[in-house]
Amino acid sequence: MVDCGADKCVPCKMMAPILIELRRDYRGKVEVEFVDVWKNPDVGRKAGIRVISTQKFYDCYGKKVIHIDSNPETDYKISVHSVIVFRIL
């Protein structure tokens, strides 16, 4: 999973504890990486990022499985868990 956000983005900061939890819960099964698209705008452009915080999920072969524009207000953990369990693992 690649989290595309920014260090100074408020919604991205709200996502940080959830991403830490995902790293812990899925250690050894799922890699969670963060890319600051404000500091690396070319990466964001190439990835088609239009809004942050956005998460992209890839299978073990590097094929994109799903793209989620996150909203910390929703039950995001349930959505992410469903993607990981039913589409990736």
Q: Is position 4 annotated as part of the catalytic site?
A: no
Largest CA distance in the chain: 33
Number of folded domains in the chain?
A: 1
Share of the chain above pLDDT 70, in %: 71
| Range 16-26 average pLDDT | 85
pLDDT at residue 53 tops 70: yes
Active-site residue among 4, 12, 15, 52? 12
Q: For residues 32 and 17, is the Cβ–Cβ distance under 8 A?
A: no
- CA–CA separation, 85 and 6 (whole Å): 27
Residue 52 belongs to domain with CATH number: 3.40.30.10
> Environment class of residue 34 by beta-carbon count within 10 Å: exposed (0-12), middle (13-18) or buried (19+)?
middle
Q: Is position 60 annotated as part of the catalytic site?
A: no
| Range 25-31 average pLDDT | 84
pLDDT attached to residue 67: 66
- Best CA proximity match to 4, nearest among 48, 59, 44, 62: 44
Which residues constitute the domain of residue 52? 2-88
Q: For residues 58 and 67, is the Cβ–Cβ distance under 8 A?
A: no
